[in-house]
């Protein structure tokens, strides 16, 4: 193996997403089957023993690509030289808890981590925030890292994107592989807007194939937007394997690019496109090329979509105001 290993830092490594994620990273699914990786696991002191157990299991897999595992409770150590950072560790929402309640509890985690990334990560660092509220946690971390280009901080809406693909596949009978150009707009929350108006099902416009605005408004959108809560209700714990899968998809796409004629969804820093205020980390339709996400430009936004995008963006603005008020950005 002659390639230089890529250092991947995972926070919350002992949590349930961490457990579903680490083995897939070490096996080459994050970056590619020919890319060696070094893992850095960040946990709080109470999580270190469990992280050590997971590291023992990683050893026991004898992954040919895995070139080392370091465990720390110090962000300055865990992000040192990191090329990819997956910020998973956070306080998960539990039954009956609103995401807004999580802002204050989680804000304190992401500011010091952003600063540690600023001070210690590699120049090509790419950050994906999974821990909720993901968009605003990403904003907090980004604001604490003024020396890192803002676009390197992203928030995960790929799970929502995948959920939407799956629901549309079930409705139309088309396999997921035949569905393209779906978009999640806005916040990773119940206000998110899964948009099928530009999507294609086997080459035809998805909204025309579905031809049922009532299904879109009353079934599809709420099913996708409230899926996280439905999983919590069913499992008694929030999505873990599907969230890890989406994190793998997000970074894999970011590094390796989107297929021609398709796009995906990611929470990225707004440049003002589609009326989303500059600087907010909002989900958009994005393509990826040469390790960079680009917001897809020039889509016509109909009235149905406009109202819903605006509502989710308003929630992001409110979250930004709230964390400003708390001195977190």
SS3 assignment, position 9: strand
Sheet holding 179-180, edge to edge: 179-180, 200-201, 204-205
Pick 43 or 200: Cβ nearer ligand NAI:
43
Regarding 164 and contact with ligand NAI (CB under 6 A), the answer is no
DSSP 157: -
Instruction: Report what 231 binds from ligand OAA, ligand NAI, none; CB cut-off 5-8 Å by kind.
Output: ligand OAA
The verdict on whether residue 108 carries a ligand-binding annotation is no
Regarding 250 and contact with ligand NAI (CB under 6 A), the answer is no
Nearest to residue 9, comparing CAs of 70, 64, 58? 70
The verdict on whether residue 17 carries a ligand-binding annotation is yes
Cα 236 to Cα 47, 79, 81, 126, distances in angstroms:
21, 32, 37, 32
Separation of alpha carbons 267 and 138, rounded Å: 9
Please identify which residue in the block is written with the tokens 């790929």: 158
| Least distance CB 89 / ligand OAA (angstroms) | 13
Regarding 130 and contact with ligand NAI (CB under 6 A), the answer is yes
Regarding 292 and contact with ligand OAA (CB under 6 A), the answer is no
Is 250 an active-site residue? Answer: no
* Site map (CB under 6 A) of ligand OAA, residues 115-144, x = contact: -----------------x------------
Q: Which of 24, 91, 93, 292 binds ligand OAA (CB under 6 A)?
A: 93
The verdict on whether residue 131 carries a ligand-binding annotation is yes
Separation of alpha carbons 176 and 202, rounded Å: 10
Six-digit token pair at 135?
């968009």
DSSP 3: S
Separation of alpha carbons 258 and 148, rounded Å: 24
The H or E element that residue 221 is part of is helix 221-225
* Site map (CB under 6 A) of ligand OAA, residues 153-192, x = contact: ------x---------------------------------
Pick 109 or 295: Cβ nearer ligand NAI:
109
* Site map (CB under 6 A) of ligand NAI, residues 73-92, x = contact: ---------------xxx-x
| Least distance CB 63 / ligand NAI (angstroms) | 21
Residue showing the smallest CB distance to ligand OAA in the complex: 228
**Strands in the chain per DSSP E:** 6-11, 37-42, 66-72, 84-87, 126-129, 153-155, 179-180, 183-185, 193-195, 200-201, 204-205, 264-269, 281-289, 292-295
Tally of CB atoms within 10 A around 4: 11
Which residues form the interface with ligand OAA (CB under 6 A)?
Answer: 92-93, 132, 159, 228, 231, 238-239
Detail the residues annotated as belonging to a binding site for NAD(+): 12-18, 106, 113, 130-132
Known binding site: residues?
Answer: 12-18, 93, 99, 106, 113, 130-132, 163
Which residues contact ligand NAI by CB under 6 A?
11-12, 14-18, 42-44, 47, 88-90, 92-93, 109, 130-132, 134, 156, 159, 188, 238-240, 243
């Amino acid at each position: 193996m002659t390639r230089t290993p890529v250092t991947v830092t995972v926070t919350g490594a002992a949590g349930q997403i961490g457990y579903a994620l680490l083995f897939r990273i070490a096996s080459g699914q994050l970056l590619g089957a020919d890319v060696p990786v070094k893992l850095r696991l960040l946990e709080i002191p109470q999580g270190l023993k469990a992280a050590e157990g997971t590291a023992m299991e990683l050893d026991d897999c004898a992954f040919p690509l895995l070139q080392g595992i370091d465990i720390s409770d110090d962000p300055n150590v865990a992000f040192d030289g990191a090329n990819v950072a997956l910020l998973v560790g956070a306080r998960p929402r539990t039954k009956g808890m609103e995401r807004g309640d999580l802002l204050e509890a989680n804000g304190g985690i992401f500011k010091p981590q952003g600063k540690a990334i600023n001070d210690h990560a590699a120049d090509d660092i790419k950050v994906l925030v999974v821990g909720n509220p993901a968009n605003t946690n990403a904003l907090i971390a980004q604001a604490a890292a003024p020396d890192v280009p803002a676009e390197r901080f992203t928030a995960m809406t790929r799970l929502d994107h995948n959920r939407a693909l799956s629901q549309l596949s079930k409705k139309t009978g088309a396999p997921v592989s035949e569905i393209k150009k779906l978009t999640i707009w806005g916040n990773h929350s119940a206000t998110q807007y899964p948009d099928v108006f530009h999507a294609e099902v086997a080459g035809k416009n998805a909204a025309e194939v579905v031809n049922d605005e009532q299904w879109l408004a009353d079934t599809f959108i709420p099913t996708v937007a409230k899926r996280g809560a439905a999983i919590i209700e069913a499992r008694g714990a929030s999505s873990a394997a599907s969230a890890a899968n989406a994190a793998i998809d997000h970074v894999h796409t970011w590094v390796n690019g989107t297929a021609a004629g398709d796009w995906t969804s990611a929470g990225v820093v707004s440049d003002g496109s589609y009326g989303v205020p500059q600087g907010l980390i909002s989900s958009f339709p994005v393509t990826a090329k040469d390790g960079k996400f680009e917001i897809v430009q020039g889509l016509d936004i109909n009235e149905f979509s406009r109202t819903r995008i605006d509502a989710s963006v308003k929630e992001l603005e409110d979250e930004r105001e709230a964390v400003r008020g708390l001195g977190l950005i």
